[in-house]
Structure 1
Amino acid sequence: MKQARINQIIGISCVNLATLLWASNIALGRLLKDSIGPITISSARFLIASLIFAVILRQQPPADRQAGKDWPLLAAMALTGIVLFSPILYWGLHYTTAVNSTIINGLAPLLTGLFATWLIKEPMSKRQIGGAILALIGVLVLISGGSLAFWQTAQFNRGDLIILIAVAVWGLYSVISSRVMRYRSSISATAFSMFIGLPVLCLLAGVELQRIPVSIDAGLLLITVYLGIVPAAIGFYAWNAGVARLGPSGAMVFYNTLPLYGALLGALFLDEAIGSPHIIGGLFIICGGIWAARKQPAVGSQKLVAEKS
């Protein structure tokens, strides 16, 4: 029982670390929007991350250094999380606002819970449903500033449907990774999904470069290295390690901390103001996540892999 509690705390810490690092990825990505295309920057950062995991894998057990019989699931992880998610998300942002995107991303825990119930027979508990709804309320308070007038002027468009597809793709990635990590460590699962997805991304980047040439400078290189090491390598590993311990539904409740950490980073580095809506919304998000994670279904195989990873 004590070990299960420790695994739970580690899992919560891992997914929160991932969303914190991804919040920095969003902020820096905005700085690069006029210098490099979204697929090109994605392929560059995953190339760096793949090199890091190639070195790390050399120290892992032989079974973790081979794709094995679960390669179709690894390929599905690569397709959803590495190849499709970021391009679809950036595509949607061409037609909608960051605010609308944040609202739709708040649906991620509930969508993931439905996928988990459907695909791997892991139903959401009442705590997880309640926590997901509480966290969604926190997201709505956070982005609306607590003002009802915000909803009178909010407009939704076709980009919102594209963002919803991106959120669904990420939910599928989390469910598939949970299944993969029943048999291999989170390091191995993350590494092979990147190895498989990287060639496809590079091919797509080659096409994109014909339309969006890269303006290379020292700032671009430094940010790209950071994005490859921190949000891509560390962030993806931390997320998958958290999913291995909490399950996809339990982990996705904390996905809603992304806008919260984005607001905190904006306050720290961009002198953006933090007001009572940020505090109230943040408390809803954090409490919803902790409430959802308090009681997880016992999955023996996930415990074994969590200890291994």
Structure 2
Amino acid sequence: MRSRNLDTLKGIALVNVATCAWATNIILGRYLRGQIGPLTLTAARSIVATVVFALILRKRPATERKAGADLKLLSAMALAGVVLFAPTLYLGLRFTTAINGTFINALGPLLTAGFAAWLIKEPFSVRQVIGAVSALAGVGVLVSGGFSSSAGKPLVNPGDLLIVLAAVLWALYSIAVKKVVSHRSPVSATALSMYIGLPFLLVAAVVESSITPVTWSPGLLGIIVYLGLIPAALGFLSWNAGIKYLGAGGAMVFYNTLPLYGTLFGFLFLGETLGPTHLAGGALILAGGLVAAIKKKASVELTPQIVNK
């Protein structure tokens, strides 16, 4: 019993390391909004992450280093999760707060479950339906600012809509992942999707930087290395290690700590504040996620999510 409790604590710690790391990605994406374009930032951090996963993949069997029959699914992962997700997220963070970004990102697991039910006919329970309605209502409150606007300002923040689009892209990425990791390790799938997506990001970054040049500095380079090592690499490894101890369903419950860390870091490092809209919308999103993730006997086992936040 003591060993089991220790394993549970290890799992909780590991998944919290992951969600904390992903929250810092959103905070830094907001912080860098005026210093580097979203495509250039994504390409630069992807170079670092790709090197990390390439080193890990070297120790894997030769079959895991080749795409083989999974090329189409890996290409779908590359398009949605590597090429489009992060630039859309970073672009959205130019217009909305990091706190909003982390709350809206909490939609990810529910969107994935919804798309899985639609596209690959996975079961979608009544609890998930209730959770999805609650979470979507919360996002509606957030993106509308409580359905009120100041004079001259749009009712809906375009940055919030971009973050919602990023969450949709992540859900589609996760559907491709669900198919691939049924017969291939998550590390292999992540690394190969990065190999496929990185050349497109590099071309896009060259075009973007020719239009909006970047002023490189040691501080900016340090942040990029951090983004590649911690949110992209360590976050992924910690999440999957946590799943080993908690199961996928147990890990998903703690995915809802992402907005909690995001709110804390947004307040401490960016000076962002929580308003009634954040409290109301955030509560609906978190409640929806918990209702969907926790079953009566807390024994739910969801398909593991591959993570490259």
TM-score (norm 1): 0.75
Please say which of residues 189-198 and 272-281 is displaced more in the overlay: 272-281
Q: How does 1:98-247 map to 2 (within 5 A)?
A: 98=97, 105=105, 107-134=107-134, 150-153=146-149, 155-156=155-156, 161-238=161-238, 246=248
- Three-state SS of the structure 2 residue aligned to 1:151 is coil
Residue type at the aligned position of 2:83: V
Residue in 2 that maps onto 1:71: 71
- Three-state SS of the structure 2 residue aligned to 1:152 is coil
Q: Is the 8 A contact 2:65 2:188 kept in 1?
A: yes
How far 1:80 moved relative to its partner?
0.2
Counterparts in 2 of 1:12 and 1:200: CA distance versus 1, 3 Å: farther
The Cα offsets for residues 181-232 of structure 1, whole Å up to 9 and x where unpaired, read as 1111111111111111111100100101101212111111111110110011
1:81 correspondence with 2:81: yes
Residue in 2 that maps onto 1:263: 263
1:49 correspondence with 2:49: yes
- Three-state SS of the structure 2 residue aligned to 1:69 is helix
The Cα offsets for residues 219-270 of structure 1, whole Å up to 9 and x where unpaired, read as 11111110110011223455577799538xx977766543322112234545
Provide the C-alpha distance between the structure 2 equivalents of 1:178 and 1:242, rounded to a whole number of angstroms. Answer: 18
Task: Could you tell me which runs of 5 or more consecutive residues in structure 1 were left unpaired when the two chains were aligned.
Answer: none
The Cα offsets for residues 77-101 of structure 1, whole Å up to 9 and x where unpaired, read as 010000011223344455x533776
Provide the C-alpha distance between the structure 2 equivalents of 1:225 and 1:56, rounded to a whole number of angstroms. Answer: 17
Provide the C-alpha distance between the structure 2 equivalents of 1:285 and 1:175, rounded to a whole number of angstroms. Answer: 21
Provide the C-alpha distance between the structure 2 equivalents of 1:183 and 1:268, rounded to a whole number of angstroms. Answer: 43
Provide the C-alpha distance between the structure 2 equivalents of 1:251 and 1:132, rounded to a whole number of angstroms. Answer: 18
Residue type at the aligned position of 1:73: L
Among the aligned pairs, what percent are the same residue? 51
Counterparts in 2 of 1:297 and 1:121: CA distance versus 1, 3 Å: farther
Provide the C-alpha distance between the structure 1 equivalents of 2:217 and 2:86, rounded to a whole number of angstroms. Answer: 23
Residue type at the aligned position of 2:202: C
Provide the C-alpha distance between the structure 2 equivalents of 1:195 and 1:275, rounded to a whole number of angstroms. Answer: 42
For these two proteins, the number of residue pairs brought into alignment is 293
1:294 correspondence with 2:294: yes
Provide the C-alpha distance between the structure 2 equivalents of 1:43 and 1:210, rounded to a whole number of angstroms. Answer: 14
Q: Is the 8 A contact 2:145 2:277 kept in 1?
A: no
How far 1:131 moved relative to its partner?
3.8
Task: Could you tell me which runs of 5 or more consecutive residues in structure 2 were left unpaired when the two chains were aligned.
Answer: none
Residue type at the aligned position of 1:173: Y
Provide the C-alpha distance between the structure 2 equivalents of 1:270 and 1:47, rounded to a whole number of angstroms. Answer: 27
Provide the C-alpha distance between the structure 2 equivalents of 1:138 and 1:253, rounded to a whole number of angstroms. Answer: 18
Please say which of residues 15-24 and 215-224 is displaced more in the overlay: 15-24
Q: Is the 8 A contact 2:12 2:251 kept in 1?
A: yes
Residue type at the aligned position of 2:229: I
Counterparts in 2 of 1:287 and 1:60: CA distance versus 1, 3 Å: farther
Counterparts in 2 of 1:109 and 1:269: CA distance versus 1, 3 Å: same
How far 1:44 moved relative to its partner?
0.8
Q: Is the 8 A contact 2:127 2:292 kept in 1?
A: yes
Please say which of residues 108-117 and 13-22 is displaced more in the overlay: 13-22
